[in-house]
Amino acid sequence: MDSVVYDTPDAYDADTRDDRRGAGGASVTRPRALATEAVHAGREDLAALGLHAAPIDLSTTYPSYDSRGEAARIDAFAAEGAEPEGPPVYGRLGNPTVARFETALARLEGTESAVAFASGMAALSAVLLVRNAMGLRHVVAVRPLYGCSDHLLTAGLLGSEVTWVDPAGIADALRPDTGLVMVESPANPTLAELDLRAVAHACGSVPLLADNTFATPVLQRPVEQGARLVLHSATKYLGGHGDVMAGVVACDEEFARGLRQVRFATGGVLHPLAGYLLLRGLSTLPVRVRAASSNAAELARRLAGDPRVARVHYPRIGGAMIAFEVHGDPHDVIAGVRLITPAVSLGSVDSLIQHPASISHRIVPTEDRHDAGVSDRLLRLSVGLEDVDDLWTDLDGALGFTSGV
């Protein structure tokens, strides 16, 4: 059979491929879909460079024969935190490979900018330091949060003070020195969901930081609901393969400048190889999240009908995370899995299970942990891309080890 050849219009221009013709022949720009942005954002210049894959720039320093100009650029960065124009200066100010990832993540979250760090906790620390430097040390937060985030706020390690409230109490908890309201939705590990739009309204002029690690921009974009800052442990779904550690804050350019200054001063920089792996991970993020979410929804359905399971937590918006409480000993389930990996972390292509009260949230005081819904019988399951029937066979066998119903 002869092949079919499709002619391309002569006027086609790769630089205007998003243009569509509206009424009267007027050019109409249609925003790219998330799946398209995930593949192309941060890579638009590659073809002009004669490249297909993004390069990895491992340089820690860069040559410059214009020392006066170099000094002026460094002064401008120190004063404002704006990204230096022209060639790079030093790895602690920024890196071209990392910048590609930051550009791509900002596009996916719908923000002006993004600033990447060596871990999610480094990213959160930088946010707190930016506000602390302005004398705004008070934080209003809603539990549950990731255990280490909870500990960082509660312990006041960076000089901050936290007031824990229910969502309805946010407005009343605000003070003149409140610099931040922090929430996580769906929350780690209970998957509790918040009305982010209502929370943002309650914040007034105080910035809302939403941890979007579990949802990713595939399922929700908090900025569209009023959040000013979006936090990710990029170690999880953004990387997606369990081989990179990173954090990132997506935000407006004004806040990003402060974050860059903190990153430069504290050295919490992201390694270029990690930036490369994250950019690569973003290209498959929508496909991975949707496939894993399909598996998770089916497993949640089966767990909900199992008499050995007391309760199942699964978000209304979907996602690849499940939390469930067993009648028997949760440690027996951890010991009984064979295909699923018993390990901390989440968001990888393979499925992981852990006991929050023993590991990720053990650092949270017991009473606070229980008040936030993190029971001692709760298990957190990060569902991967395996065949769903194979995952259920493994879970079913592990549940058989429990001493409950």
* Residues tagged active-site: 92, 146, 211, 236
d(CA 183, CA 145): 7
DSSP labels, 148-195: HHHHHHHHTTTS-EEEE--GGGHHHH--TTEEEEEEESSPTTT-----
Residue with tokens 């605000």: 174
Residue 255 contacts residue 264 (beta carbons within 8 Å): no
- For 100-131, give the secondary structure using H, E and C: HHHHHHHHHHCCCEEEEECCHHHHHHHHHHHH
| CB-based burial label for 382 (10 Å; 0-12, 13-18, 19+) | buried
Residue 127 contacts residue 343 (beta carbons within 8 Å): no
For residue 78, the SS3 value is helix
d(CA 351, CA 361): 19
| Pair of tokens at residue 196 | 């982010």
| Pair of tokens at residue 117 | 């760090």
Residue 383 contacts residue 296 (beta carbons within 8 Å): yes
φ, ψ at 109 (rounded to 5°): -85, -10
Residue 100 contacts residue 46 (beta carbons within 8 Å): no
